[in-house]
Amino acid sequence: MSSPIKPMAHYVVAVKEKKPEKTASGIFLPESAQEKSEAAKVVAVGSAVKDVADGARVVYKNYAATTIKLDKEEYLIIKDEDILATIE
């Protein structure tokens, strides 16, 4: 997936990972009962970001991202220092 947003030097653009809407036993969870996802897939990387590559799955600080909605897709803009880890 490519991003229509081009991040500045120390920022990355990511897309939130979707949480399952029902449990393993088949119980549907309303959105208000679901945990807030703090994992995302990186779709664009700024020129000064060294430790994160395009396509990486990352965990970021809660409330650290700026959310932007474009063309029915919700993007997160996260500063590279607010990324806590990558997911293999």
Long-range contacts of 68-71 (CB under 8 A, 24+ apart): 68/5, 70/4, 70/5, 71/4
- pLDDT score for 31: 63
Q: Does residue 21 lie within any of the structural domains?
A: no
Is residue 1, in this structure, part of any structural domain at all?
A: yes
pLDDT of residue 27: 76
Longest dimension (CA), the chain: 45
Residue-range definition of the domain harbouring residue 69: 1-15+36-88
Strand locations in 24-70 (E): 39-45, 57-60, 66-70
Task: Provide the CATH number for the domain around residue 74.
Answer: 2.30.33.40
Is the residue at 28 inside a domain? no
Q: Is residue 76 part of a domain?
A: yes
pLDDT in tens, 25-84: 777 766 665 556 588 999 999 999 999 999 999 999 988 899 999 988 999 999 999 999
Residue 24 falls inside a structural domain: no
The pTM for the full model equals: 0.79
Q: What pLDDT was estimated at residue 32?
A: 63
Domain presence at residue 22? no
Structural domain tally of the chain? 1
Beta strands in the chain (DSSP E): 11-16, 39-45, 57-60, 66-70, 73-79, 83-87
